[in-house]
Every structure is written in structure tokens, then in C-alpha cells.
């Protein structure tokens, strides 16, 4: 099975990813954890370029293709082989992030991004994506005390559009994209994810 966890920055992904991986391992699954963009040499290099190179002005389209290149390599090197070996993959973000961040929030056509994404992943999409949903004000308040990356420095309007974007995509794919109320306690969010596995 292939799971991804998504949501706005500050929604609480990291702790839920950790709990999910522990849960799956405890029930005997061999779990491969990865992050998008990242988890291969090329994808981690692209991640640095996309998120931390203010000296490299990058348009929306180029940015979207950089995310896709990182993702193509992640699928080929890590995710596809793991699934072929019968392992369970948990990925911190995946194609849905591109559809929502570069599409709904960034102004590119979400459907175009989805189609490019299917080419990049050779049609591979997660069996389930859990979207942790919190109001933008809460997300921002959880993100203090650290340096913001390129995407996190986008303006308030961009960030406001993210939440609706995730909801719209969940409506389109109700069986595979599950919205979870991220205001619940850590334990309750985890329990809801487990119920939906």
C-alpha cells in the first residue's frame, strides 16, 4: 500500500507520519518512509534549489516541473521498487501538494498539473492520502521560531487558497483523499487515520 500525508505547513504532518509508521511497523508491515521532494540524491538536490535558493528566480511553471522531476526520481528509485517488493510506503506529501500549491494557490491549472504528475509518476498515485486540515491562523501559529522556505514565504492570499484547494480535490477523489480535522488531539487524529487505512 502507498500512503501519503499532506496539508498546509504547520498542520502537524511530522508527528502523524511518525505515529503512522510506528503503527504499520507494529502490525508487521515493512515500512518505507520518504518525503517529496526528496529521498533520492537528485530529489534532495532539487529540494534545495526549489526551497532554499532565493538567488535563482523561478517562475511557477518551472517550479512545478522541478517538483515533478524530483517526484519522478523518487518514484523510480524508491517508491516503485518498494511497492514491487510488497513493502508499505508512507510519503510526506506527493502529487496532491503540486496540484494544490502550484495549482489552486499558485494559479496554474490543477488538471494540467495532475496530468503532468501522472506522466512523472507513470500513473502511480497513493492508495490513500490523508490531508490534515487546520485553519491558516492555527497553522501559522505553529510555525514560529524557524526560518521559512520559499513556499512558506508566499503571501497570505496564496495560503488562504490552499485549504480550499485540498477540500476541492478531496471532493473530486472522495475515496482516496481523506480530510482529517487537524484541530483534534494528536491521538484522535492518529486514530482517525488508522480507521481510514
Q: Which of 98, 34, 8 is nearest to 62 (CA)?
A: 98
Q: Do residues 10 and 152 touch, judged by C-beta distance below 8 A?
A: no
Q: Report, in Å, the least distance between residue 77 CB and ligand TYD.
A: 16
The single residue among 40, 79, 92, 131 that binds ligand TYD, judged by CB under 6 A, is: 92
Q: What cell numbers appear for 13 in the block?
A: 504532518
Contact flags string 140-169 toward ligand TYD, x per CB under 6 A = -----------xx-----------------
User: Under the criterion CB under 6 A, does residue 192 sit at the interface with ligand TYD?
Assistant: no
User: Under the criterion CB under 6 A, does residue 67 sit at the interface with ligand TYD?
Assistant: yes
The single residue among 40, 93, 108, 170 that binds ligand TYD, judged by CB under 6 A, is: 93
- Nearest residue to ligand TYD by CB is 101
Q: Report, in Å, the least distance between residue 27 CB and ligand TYD.
A: 26
Q: Report, in Å, the least distance between residue 81 CB and ligand TYD.
A: 20
* 122 alpha carbon, distance to own chain's centre: 18
The single residue among 20, 31, 37, 89 that binds ligand TYD, judged by CB under 6 A, is: 37
Distance CA 1, CA 24 (A): 11
Residue 103 DSSP code: I
User: Under the criterion CB under 6 A, does residue 114 sit at the interface with ligand TYD?
Assistant: no
- Binders in 3-32 for ligand TYD, by CB under 6 A: 9
- Residue 119 has φ and ψ, to the nearest 5°, of -70, -40
Q: Which residues contact 118 (CB under 8 A, 6 or more apart)?
A: 95, 125
33-41, 123-131, 166-174, 177-185 -> range binding ligand TYD (CB under 6 A): 33-41
Q: Which residues contact 123 (CB under 8 A, 6 or more apart)?
A: none
Strands 128-133 and 2-7, by their bridges, are parallel
78-86, 89-97, 129-137, 168-176 -> range binding ligand TYD (CB under 6 A): 89-97
Angle at 18 between CA 32 and CA 177, to 5 degrees: 75
Contacts with ligand TYD, residue ranges (CB under 6 A): 9, 35-37, 51, 67, 92-93, 97-98, 101-102, 151-152
Amino acid at each position: 500500500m502507498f500512503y501519503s500525508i499532506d496539508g498546509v505547513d504547520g498542520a502537524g504532518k511530522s508527528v502523524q507520519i511518525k505515529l503512522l509508521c510506528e503503527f504499520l511497523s507494529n502490525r508487521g508491515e515493512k515500512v518505507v518512509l520518504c518525503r517529496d521532494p526528496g529521498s533520492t540524491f537528485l530529489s534532495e538536490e532539487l529540494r534545495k534549489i526549489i526551497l532554499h535558493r532565493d538567488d535563482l528566480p523561478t517562475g511557477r511553471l518551472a517550479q512545478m516541473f522541478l517538483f515533478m522531476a524530483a517526484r519522478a526520481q523518487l518514484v523510480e528509485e524508491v517508491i516503485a521498487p518498494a511497492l514491487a517488493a510488497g513493502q508499505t510506503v508512507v510519503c510526506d506529501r506527493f502529487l496532491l501538494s503540486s496540484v494544490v500549491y502550484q495549482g489552486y494557490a499558485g494559479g496554474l491549472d490543477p488538471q494540467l498539473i495532475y496530468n503532468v504528475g501522472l506522466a512523472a509518476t507513470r500513473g502511480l498515485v497513493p492508495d490513500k492520502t490523508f490531508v490534515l486540515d487546520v485553519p491558516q491562523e492555527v497553522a501559522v501559529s505553529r510555525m514560529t521560531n524557524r526560518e521559512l522556505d520559499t513556499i512558506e514565504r508566499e503571501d497570505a492570499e496564496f495560503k488562504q487558497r490552499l485549504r480550499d484547494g485540498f477540500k476541492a480535490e478531496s471532493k473530486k477523489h472522495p475515496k482516496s483523499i481523506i480530510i482529517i480535522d487537524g484541530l483534534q488531539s494528536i491521538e484522535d487524529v492518529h486514530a482517525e487515520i488508522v480507521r481510514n487505512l
